[in-house]
Amino acid sequence: MTETTLDIQKIRKDFPILNREVNGRPLVYFDNAATSQTPQQVIDVIVHYYQNYNANIHRGVHFLSQEATDAYEQARIKIQKHFNIGKSHEVIFTSGTTHAINLVANGFSGFLKSGDEILVSAMEHHSNIVPWQMLCERTGAQLKVIPMNQDGELVMDSYHNLLSNRTKLVFCNHVSNALGTINPIKKIIDAAHAVGAAVLVDGAQAAPHIKADVRALDVDFYTVSAHKVCGPTGVGVLYGKEEWLNKLPPYQGGGEMIAEVTFEKTTYADLPHKFEAGTPNIAGGIAFGAALDYMNSIGFEAIAAYEEELLHYATSELKKIEGLKIYGEASQKAAVVSFNIKGIHPYDIGTILDKLGIAVRTGHHCAQPIMDFYQIPGTVRASFSFYNTKAEIDALVAGVQKARNMLI
Amino acid sequence: MGIQEIQEGIVDEFSLFEDWMEKYEYMIGLGKSLPLIKEEYKTDDNIIKGCQSKVWVHAELNDDRLVFTADSDAIITKGIIAILIRAFSNQKPQDIIDADTAFIDEIGLKEHLSPTRANGLVSMIKQLKLYAIAYQTQLN
Ligand SMILES: Cc1ncc(COP(=O)(O)O)c(C=O)c1O
């Protein structure tokens, strides 16, 4: 494997938080799958917004409102270009992936009836399961699960067997947050389309590693959260094909989403505003655009190659620890390592690591069905980003070793 | 020994430790010596909610004293329960109800625990006191 061409030490200087000490030790941040850190370039955009042109958008006649509107709409176009989306009004700003999924699930209420089926993968985040269960309760449709194997890969034969003309919707994450598996979404989408089903792909975990081309994928809906791609929390995007977005009813009523209102009848605004009721997270949207600019300036190919290097290094070093088992060994994997040590609760390991200044996640990672599948209470999950280093992985491995010695 | 005395003893012990490592090592040791709950009592009814790890507690009256047994799937959590049980087990229910819990802060346990574990600690104390209240009502 070739060494990265990225200047990691220079990149790290962009992230002020990486200078922090935790429990008297330099912070090692390996909880990137939960939320990524924010570079100064993005922080500056947020500060600049509040210092210079904070105003409500789309509704003021005044200068600042226009400036804010322009910046917000420019961010929409940046997001459009990044994901190769056909039209800018196919980009719907949301508060994040959870909101985006609920918007679609709610919209499908009118399209489903008893006897229809929704397929979801066995490795979904809770935010991707509950809205569909609620949708099924409302409509009488049935939820079916695409199973996975021990390596944490979807069983594609079973998927093909589950598909039928009863299937109306298929939901799958692009990358699993708990295991790191990169799912074969192009194959999933094509097979679903062959039976006339729509597909929503949750791109929350994929976006930091993979630049998805939604038109090449031909996906019907794709969701992203800004806070996983070096942007701020509380903002995200739903991509939907125009014909779908026109068909779906609005999700929330409020300002911004209407064309005309009388007490008898309201006509809805055109896309994207039909789905953007109320004052949005303006600074957040603008900063989301800046975050994608930042990541593109580093380059997604270089990021993916370097993260793979980190993943391989971490995997082989961790495996040297006696009794350590890695969950999720898919051949296609993002930079996430979920593991346990025989006889030790993941929470105990996480507690000791925290004392050493190492931030990991422990527990079920909002994916309890996966933990049930492996019959474990949870895992320790270390997730890497392009600003992490091999020296930090060495600290993790030493920390896990130390925890093991203390706890066994 | 009364609850107050036992608590003072625990505070004294913890004051000897130089750093968090020693505290944790001690707690892990305590965890291994926890008076274990009988398997038959490890039911969902006896699980304490609010912990990332599972915690089961059982209480039984022995004459006029309440005896606690417990278990957890996480060893540091077991250590924490062991400290609580040492402070509260084999005491009269009314004394448990009245007991002060300031010693927890004095040994610096909370600040050394992750937020979820600190919440779990509060739930555990609450649960022990609830048992005491239930048995006190029975005694009255
Ligand atoms: C795969 C996946 N889907 C959805 C979400 C939820 O994203 P958000 O909390 O930003 O709505 C997450 C984040 O943890 C995730 O990892």
Instruction: Look at strands A258-261 and A266-268 and give their pairing.
Output: antiparallel
Query: What is the CA(A124)–ligand 1 centre distance, in A?
Result: 10
Tell me whether residues B24 and A23 touch, CB distance under 8 A: no
Mutate to test the pocket of ligand 1, among A129, A177, A338, A383 (most ligand atoms within 8 A of CB): A177
Amino acid at site A287:
A
Residue B122 host element (H or E): helix B115-139
Residues of A in contact with B117 (CB under 8 A): 347, 351
Q: What is the CATH number of domain A8-30+299-407?
A: 3.90.1150.10
Amino acid at site B34:
L
Cα-based angle A237, A276, A189 (whole degrees, multiple of 5) = 40
Backbone dihedral angles phi then psi of residue A33, each to the nearest 5 degrees: -70, -25
CB-ligand 1 contact for A98 (6 Å cutoff): yes
Of the candidates A113, A105, A172, the residue with the CA atom closest to the CA atom of residue A134: A105
* Ordered structural domains, chain B, with CATH: 3-35+46-139 (3.90.1010.10)
Instruction: Look at strands A117-121 and A142-146 and give their pairing.
Output: parallel
Cα-based angle A138, A183, A114 (whole degrees, multiple of 5) = 20
pLDDT at B46 over 90: no
Residue B26 touches chain A, beta carbons under 8 Å: no
Cα-based angle A261, A263, A268 (whole degrees, multiple of 5) = 30
DSSP letter string, A333-389:
B-SEEEEEETTS-HHHHHHHHHHTTEE-EEE-TT-HHHHHHHT-S-EEEEE--TT--
Distance CA A229, CA A179 (A): 18
- State which residues of chain A have pLDDT below 70: 1-2
Q: Can you tell me which residue has the tokens 């991707």?
A: A128
Instruction: Write out the two tokens for B18.
Output: 């130089």
Q: Is B63 designated active site?
A: no
Residues of A in contact with B25 (CB under 8 A): 406
pTM as predicted: 0.91
- pLDDT for the residue numbered B51: 63
For chain A, the structural domain boundaries read 8-30+299-407, 43-296
CB-count burial class (<10 Å; 0-12, 13-18, 19+) for B17: middle
CB-ligand 1 contact for A324 (6 Å cutoff): no
- How many alpha carbons lie under 13 Å from residue B12 in its C-beta half-sphere? 6
Best to test chain A binding among B23, B27, B30, B52 (most A CBs inside 10 Å)? B52
Residue B114 touches chain A, beta carbons under 8 Å: yes
Q: What is the CATH number of domain A43-296?
A: 3.40.640.10
Distance CA A325, CA A318 (A): 9
Nearest to A406 among B24, B52, B77 (CB): B24
Smallest Cα distance from A362 to chain B, Å? 9
Task: Answer whether the bond into residue A272 is a cis peptide, omega within 30°.
Answer: yes
Distance CA A85, CA A246 (A): 16
pLDDT at B9 over 80: yes
Residues of B in contact with A352 (CB under 8 A): 24
Residue B77 touches chain A, beta carbons under 8 Å: yes
Mean pLDDT confidence for B107-136: 82
Q: Are A321 and A397 in contact (CB under 8 A)?
A: yes
Q: Rounded to an integer, what is the distance from CA A283 to the centroid of its chain?
A: 20
Residue B36 touches chain A, beta carbons under 8 Å: no
Distance CA A221, CA A172 (A): 11
Smallest Cα distance from A75 to chain B, Å? 36
Smallest Cα distance from A142 to chain B, Å? 30
Q: What share of chain A is helix, strand, coil (3-state, %, to 5)?
A: 45, 20, 40
Q: Are A218 and A243 in contact (CB under 8 A)?
A: no
- pLDDT for the residue numbered A13: 98
Q: Name the CA radius of gyration of chain B, rounded.
A: 14
CB-ligand 1 contact for A383 (6 Å cutoff): no
Listed in order, strand segments (DSSP E) in A61-138 are 91-94, 117-121
Residue of chain B with shortest Cα separation from A351: B114
- pLDDT for the residue numbered A258: 74
- pLDDT for the residue numbered A42: 98
Residues B51, B84, B104, B128: which is the catalytic one?
B51
- pLDDT for the residue numbered B115: 67
CB neighbours of residue A7 within 10 Å: 10
Instruction: Look at strands A258-261 and A236-240 and give their pairing.
Output: unpaired
Which tens digits make up the pLDDT trace of A63-100?
A: 999 999 999 999 999 999 999 999 999 999 999 999 99
- pLDDT for the residue numbered B48: 80
Amino acid at site A195:
V
Which tens digits make up the pLDDT trace of B49-61?
A: 666 788 899 999 9
